[in-house]
Amino acid sequence: MALKIIFMGTPFFAVPILESILNSEHKVLAVYTQNPKKSNRGQKLNISPIHQFSKINNIQVRSPITLDQEETIFIKKMTPDVVVVVAYGKIIPKEILEIKNIKFINIHASLLPKWRGAAPIQRSLIEMDKETGISIMKIVQKLDAGPFLIQERIKIEKDDNYNSLSNKLANLGSKLILKSLNLIEKNNYNLTEQNEDLATYATKIEKKESEIKWNIPAKKLIAKINGLSPFPGAWFKHKNNRIKIFKAIEVDQTGKSGEVLDDNLTIACEHKAIKILSLQKQGKKIISAKEFLAGYQIKKGENLL
């Protein structure tokens, strides 16, 4: 028998997972997502990727500022079998979690208990993890601490950035959610408790973290660039211009940290150097280093510290 689902999610990461459920035998009753945000320029309201997808597919959307008593009543009235949460961005209150006859599960982009919290994909890249994965767990009051139904790992490739790794994990999540729902439907699953002693936390990426510090090893700097690419983007300042780096490689050259080693955007780090491959001047589009240097000069011998 098909399950009745309420889905809670917000970013692009959640879209393939919602689409997978929508294309299955299970029925999506309604979608919760973050309320529309004003754009940086002007007063235009931007709806979330999940909101946009739901509108196109004629799914009922709710975007309350808080999950209050009205939402508790609504969820009770809809009588879902399962509430699926994927990067929703709000804590589910106790009053909702305690509604009888509903299973609440969360799809989290890490191998729990490692990287609980808001930015597991970015942190796994920045910290140069060799692997990551998807954990599908029961939701409890403590953040990402519930026992998991399913966990599957994938290798982090050398060239992965936030965008590519996020896409891989979303695709994996879209397969594992169907497997999880089928196990729940058959009441044929086990829950594995997390080891609290191994828990680490993927705190939200703060704006100040995006600024590049050249006095670290090139390998660590590339990991940071990859973890923050394409958003928010790792940046440095040059003559009052903020310049974001989106792709770079490590090269076997040396110099003082922050020193420009040639006219092709090779910059020295604490250990070795990076060669910048693509970047963006503030307010402009992302372009290759060759295109950038055709209209902007960062000369050999300058120091970017």
pLDDT more than 90, % of the chain:
96
Q: Are both 180 and 97 inside the same structural domain?
A: yes
Domain boundary among 169, 198, 227: 198
228: left (phi over 0), alpha (psi -120 to 50) or beta: alpha
37's tokens: 């945000």
Closest of 97, 117, 121 to residue 6, by C-alpha: 97
Q: Are both 214 and 153 inside the same structural domain?
A: no
Look at residue 105 in the predicted model and tell me its pLDDT: 98
Q: Is the pLDDT of residue 41 over 70?
A: no
Residue 1 and residue 149: Cα distance in Å, rounded?
Answer: 20
Tell me what the mean pLDDT of segment 91-109 comes to. 97
Q: Domain containing 223 — which CATH number?
A: 3.10.25.10
Residue 258 and residue 298: Cα distance in Å, rounded?
Answer: 12
3-state secondary structure of 174: helix
As a whole number of angstroms, the longest Cα–Cα distance in the chain is 69
Q: Domain containing 167 — which CATH number?
A: 3.40.50.170
Domain boundary among 198, 219, 238: 198
Look at residue 44 in the predicted model and tell me its pLDDT: 78
Q: Are both 24 and 170 inside the same structural domain?
A: yes
Q: Are both 27 and 133 inside the same structural domain?
A: yes
Q: Are both 14 and 155 inside the same structural domain?
A: yes
Closest of 247, 246, 244, 248 to residue 282, by C-alpha: 244
Q: Are both 241 and 155 inside the same structural domain?
A: no
Q: Is the pLDDT of residue 279 over 80?
A: yes
- What H or E segment, with its residue span, contains residue 246? strand 241-251
Q: Are both 55 and 167 inside the same structural domain?
A: yes
152's tokens: 């599957």
Q: Are both 120 and 149 inside the same structural domain?
A: yes
Look at residue 42 in the predicted model and tell me its pLDDT: 60
Domain boundary among 168, 198, 228: 198
Q: Is the pLDDT of residue 43 over 90?
A: no
CA distances from 93 to 35, 90, 223, 264 (A): 17, 9, 36, 53
pLDDT level of residue 54 (50, 70, 90 thresholds) = very high
Q: Are both 191 and 225 inside the same structural domain?
A: no
Residue 89 and residue 160: Cα distance in Å, rounded?
Answer: 24
pLDDT in tens, 77-98: 999 999 999 999 999 999 999 9
Does residue 300 form part of some domain? no
pLDDT in tens, 168-202: 999 999 999 999 999 999 999 999 999 999 999 99
pLDDT in tens, 144-165: 999 999 999 999 999 999 999 9
pLDDT in tens, 244-265: 999 999 999 999 999 999 999 9
Does residue 301 form part of some domain? no
Q: Are both 225 and 191 inside the same structural domain?
A: no
pLDDT level of residue 40 (50, 70, 90 thresholds) = low
Q: Are both 155 and 212 inside the same structural domain?
A: no
Closest of 63, 71, 28 to residue 46, by C-alpha: 63
Does residue 302 form part of some domain? no
Q: Is the pLDDT of residue 38 over 90?
A: no
pLDDT in tens, 223-245: 999 999 999 999 999 999 999 99
The residue to which tokens 């999950």 are assigned = 67
Does residue 305 form part of some domain? no
If one counts the domains in the chain, the total is 2
As a whole number, the mean pLDDT across the chain is 96
For residue 193, what are the domain limits?
A: 4-198
- CA 230 to the chain's CA centroid: 11
